[in-house]
Structure 1
């Protein structure tokens, strides 16, 4: 891979990874609800999940879906159902607002934390990795990287470089959004703001994949 192609790859990946999208919106919501540490499985799931998707696309998965469109439809609509489930979880998350009967006491706060953990859980590593298959932004990025930023003279090497670069960039980007979520967490200490925030994140998440539904695939 020549230098010009490599820097073009970095520029595209940085813009694609740091701008708003489903992965970053989920990180923002989870950071605000559960804190940074508990959002890390999502952060790493995005990075490695996208890299895995990129390698499969580079190995010809797109052609396989063209040959067997029913397989894509099953994957696509199953993933959409999972996304609706994620949006529902965000909208109904109690996060750090769940409290015990004596919420003003240490025991009440401890019980509240246990109830919150039981009622609402952050997305797992594998759940986040699987989510890449419904994320329209991930599809566009993967297709663009494979078709535009790989070198025919050293195809597999350039694919590995693209995958490694995007693992690092995606983890940095999603991590930044998760940290921002922890910053706004203080502002969300008001239960009404907290509820509005979660419902807004859920709605925006659903709206972000409308193009994927409308294109009929």
Structure 2
């Protein structure tokens, strides 16, 4: 990979991971509801789960979409249904003191598995492979995945820290409830580009 192509890839990766989307909104909500330390498995699940998805998409899942285009429509339907359920869970999250007793942030495996039903993750993975690993050879795919590990660490940490900072401002349960409803609404709004033809 040439330096120019890698610079373009790194820029693409940074912009796609730092902008608001389901992962970032959920990490911010997790930071606000559970704090940074308890959100670490969620952070790692996103930070490592998405690059693993890139590898698997690059090595084979794209071929499934080429062979059976309807599979992409099915993926969209399942993804949207799951995201709506998650938005409901975020909107109805308990205040931090209650959450520590009854709620819990996503685990590493839950956050990693979430990538497979995250429409933004699919768009990012398909776009990155198409643009920067069009040959679909293992070396190019690993360059893309490795870049996303690096950029993802910055993004997941930043969004969770932002949520943790917001947590201090949300001491009143009513404010936290409004914040959670706003995060849920933004999560649903993040689905609009997927639903538009």
Q: TM-score, length-normalised on structure 2?
A: 0.89
Q: Which residue of 2 aligns with 1:87?
A: 87
Q: Which residue of 1 aligns with 2:47?
A: 47
Question: Are the equivalent residues in 2 in contact too, given 1:34–1:95 (CA < 8 A)?
Answer: no
SS at match of 1:122: coil
Q: Unpaired segments of 5 or more residues in structure 1?
A: 99-115
Which of 113, 125, 150 is equivalent to 2:108? 125
Larger mean Cα displacement after TM superposition, 30-39 or 138-147: 138-147
The CA deviation at 1:118 is 4.3
The structure having more radius of gyration, on CA atoms, is 1
In the alignment of these two chains, the number of paired residues is 197
- Post-superposition Cα deviations, 1:102-137, rounded to whole Å, max 9, x if no partner, equal xxxxxxxxxxxxxx3343221122222222223232
1:155 paired with 2:137, answer yes
Question: Are the equivalent residues in 1 in contact too, given 2:65–2:72 (CA < 8 A)?
Answer: yes
Question: Are the equivalent residues in 2 in contact too, given 1:93–1:119 (CA < 8 A)?
Answer: no
- CA–CA distance in 2 between the matches of 1:71 and 1:117? 39
1:1-217 matched pairs, under 5 angstroms: 1-69=1-69, 71-98=71-98, 116-150=99-133, 152=135, 155-215=137-197
The CA deviation at 1:210 is 2.4
Question: Are the equivalent residues in 2 in contact too, given 1:91–1:198 (CA < 8 A)?
Answer: yes
> What CA RMSD, in Å, does the superposition of the two structures yield over aligned residues?
2.0
- Post-superposition Cα deviations, 1:163-209, rounded to whole Å, max 9, x if no partner, equal 11101211220111101111111110012111100001011101101
Q: TM-score, length-normalised on structure 1?
A: 0.82
